[in-house]
Amino acid sequence: MRQIFWQFFAAIWLTMFAALAFVGLANSYLNVLPPKGPMVEKQRQQAFETVSLLLTQGEIGTARTYVGTLAQLREPTLVSITPAPEAIDQAACKGESRTQRMIFNAKDRHCYLVEVPEPQLSLLETYTPLVLPPLAVFLTSVVSALLLTRYLARPLIKLRSGLSALAKGDFDVRVGFRQGWWNDGITALGHDFDVTAGKLEALQENQKQLFHDVSHELRSPLSRMQAALGLIKKTPAKLDAILPRMEHEIERLDGLVEQILTLARLRMPDTTIFERQTVDILDLVAVIVDDAAFEAQARNIRIDFEGADSFVTDVNGELIYRAIENVVRNAVKYSGEGAVISVKAKVSGSEALDISISNSGPYVPHEDIDRLFDPFTRLNEADAVSGHGLGLAITRRAIEAHGGYVSATSNKGGGLTVRLHLSQTLKKPEASRST
């Protein structure tokens, strides 16, 4: 906005300067300024008064010399001095009009007629001084307006065309305004448009990929259930053996649908619609760690948890529970036999909670870390690990819906460290503890 202000400010001043330059250039050829009418009239009156004064004082020679000088000027003033044909006394030497005046010379007792005719100005000299300044302002304003219109209209037309293309679903459109010395709000607007179009295009591609992934994930258990039903129809005696398998597939479908619905809710623009409760997040973490540690005993995996005693804030307890649980269970799922998982909760600044979960699973390349938080992403397809690749995607969106953020880094010895950051809105946490 500031750049646009200074550019329009400069345009206004340039327009005024151009108008003055136009007037000066035109006057150098026409020589009509300043207006000659008032100036000539002033010279005429001055000549009248001077000649009259000289004649009254009897300086006839001086008066004629002065009249001759006036006639030789660049802008001459014509004055004629005519003596009366016969002697007239002072009382009779009277009479004055706009162009004539009777003057009595007391020395030689003569009366003189002084005549200064009105100047004859051409139409150019009369009207050009009146028309030239407004004409200069009008012409320079028109040129300035045309340039500003061209400067504004071209990008706006291009932007309008781009918006029309976006409305039709063409998300690969770009306006691509060039950045030069006119690097102002319009260029920034074009850049923002391109960024928005790029994000919409990415969202469209993600949506297509999401539909593809969902259909793929749903097709596999449905195919297995159809195969089981076909087998039951052919061999009813195997019903008891096949039913557990079908129940397992139904549970997987139910879990998948629940995760997809949760992810869809979290992708909504207004995430403030979730009901919030006053929750001690550290209590949730303790419950999650206890449950995961009990299940991890079968693989001799230990979970170490240390953190603060309390961190109370307003959150949606179900979403936060699921967000933390997804990370902890992923850590257990991808850790090998006898691994140790570290869960740390740290209160920073008395108003923010950082939870880090570290495992010693497979090494994750740095360039693939962001992909872990995309729906249906599984970097190790060859590993026989159950799941649909939605856990970390739900975690990120659940934490971001509460104004926090999630990050991940690869551990040098293998595995991953996921960090969850949440801000506190209620009570301050108590003193920290270690378990």
pLDDT value at position 420?
92
What's the average model confidence in pLDDT over 8-16?
80
Tell me the pLDDT tens digit for each residue of 83-99.
Answer: 877 656 677 777 788 77
Distance (Å, rounded) from C-alpha 391 to C-alpha 373? Answer: 8
Among 138-152, 258-272, 292-306, the range with the most confident prediction by mean pLDDT is 292-306
pLDDT score of 1 more than 70: no
Which comes out higher in pLDDT, residue 434 or 172? 172
CATH superfamily, with its number, for domain 273-434: Histidine kinase-like ATPase, C-terminal domain (3.30.565.10)
Residue 155 preceded by cis peptide, ω within 30: no
Residue 429's pLDDT band, with cuts at 50, 70 and 90, is very low
pLDDT value at position 433?
39
pLDDT score of 272 more than 60: no
Distance (Å, rounded) from C-alpha 198 to C-alpha 414? Answer: 35
Contacts of 66 (CB under 8 A, 6+ apart): 50, 51, 54
What topology does CATH give the domain 186-266? Answer: Helix Hairpins (1.10.287)
pLDDT value at position 316?
87
What's the average model confidence in pLDDT over 236-246?
79
Report domain extents, the chain.
1-170, 186-266, 273-434
* DSSP bridge partners of 104: 111
pLDDT value at position 213?
66
Output the average pLDDT for the chain: 79
pLDDT score of 253 more than 50: yes
Tell me the pLDDT tens digit for each residue of 57-78.
Answer: 888 888 888 888 888 887 788 8
Segment among 211-215, 323-327, 357-361 with least mean pLDDT: 211-215
What's the average model confidence in pLDDT over 382-409?
77
